[in-house]
Amino acid sequence: MARLHLAIIGVGLIGGSFGLAMKAALGGDIHITGLCRTRESMENALMRGEIDEASPDISKVIEGADIVYISTPVLQIVPMTKKILPYLKSGAVITDVGSTKEYLWNELSTLLPKDIYYVSGHPMTGKEKSGPMAADKELFRHKCYVVLSETTAPKDVYDKVVDLFRLTGASLTTLDAKKHDRCASLISHVPHVTASALVTLLSRHDDDMEEAIKLAGGGFKDTTRIASSNADMWADILMTNGDAIAAHLKDVQKILGDVVEAIVAKDRGRLHDYFASAKKRRDSILDQTGKLFDI
């Protein structure tokens, strides 16, 4: 069997972790080329074994690749695809890890020629750190990896790419693009916005900042951890999944408005019900998902 050639565009946290997972699973049966933003990142990715070869020259990274794994911020994925198209061989597959899917499907499904296939995915995992030094071969294990039902690939090609995702140890699920974007907004995008809002709230109270920081414990750290995530990535997500995120943030505004009303009215019973209901629902969610995913 011919050795699989995987090209990773954006060998950072996700791209580098995918490379490590593939090398761990396939060893010498896979050859990985990579493109990073800086020479330092390329050297780190090579040193850590996330890729076998690195080059700032896109043509050298892409030529002969069976699968191209694009792991960049969402708004860079379409321009990057246009750049690599001249160097793709017939039958090559493009996959991406973009956090919003309807936008990418609408753009790429019409852009790609019929002999270049698109199988889109979204690993629901990450860290607040970025770059190849943060990559971990176990990053995907027991996490959800969404595979989009929309594809331009024949079934056998689609299945081969899905099998590759499965080698990461992730739990795979299939969604259509619209459903993915609504669910991702609820479970990931809006929580990131609100985590950043809590940090912004603190920064807007300079008079109390010094003393408040002294009080900061596990609760503040846990609820705001994801506010340390990559700003480019999250700005792109909000630009490409704006309808769902804006609608859900309006729901959050309504919920918080109800809490404000209960506080002003000194309605302890209503406040108690708010917290009790949230605890019950969260405990139920963790119980349901604990057997499938590590959340």
Per the rule left: phi > 0, alpha: psi between -120 and 50, beta: everything else, 9 is beta
CA-based nearest residue to 44, from 80, 79, 19, 78: 19
Q: Which two tokens stand for residue 217?
A: 């414990």
Q: Judge whether residue 216 has pLDDT over 90.
A: no
Q: Judge whether residue 214 has pLDDT over 90.
A: no
Average pLDDT over residues 21-41: 92
* Pairing outcome for strands 171-175 and 144-151: parallel
Q: Judge whether residue 295 has pLDDT over 50.
A: no
Question: Percentage of residues in the chain with pLDDT exceeding 90?
Answer: 75
Secondary structure class of 173 (helix, strand, coil): strand
Q: Which two tokens stand for residue 2?
A: 């011919």
Residue 77 near residue 106, CB atoms below 8 Å? no
Q: Judge whether residue 234 has pLDDT over 80.
A: yes
When the pLDDT of each residue in the chain is averaged and rounded to a whole number, the result is 92
The string of pLDDT tens digits covering residues 117-163 is 999 999 998 777 778 888 899 999 999 999 999 999 999 999 999 99
Query: What local confidence, expressed as pLDDT, does residue 279 receive?
Result: 95
Average pLDDT over residues 50-56: 92
The string of pLDDT tens digits covering residues 236-259 is 999 999 999 999 999 999 999 999
Range of lowest pLDDT (38-42, 50-54, 77-81, 148-152): 38-42
Instruction: Specify the DSSP class assigned to residue 131.
Output: S
- Domains parsed from the chain with CATH numbers: 4-176 (3.40.50.720), 180-289 (1.10.3660.10)
CA-based nearest residue to 96, from 86, 104, 107, 87: 104
Residue 25: pLDDT band with limits 50, 70, 90: very high
Secondary structure class of 4 (helix, strand, coil): strand
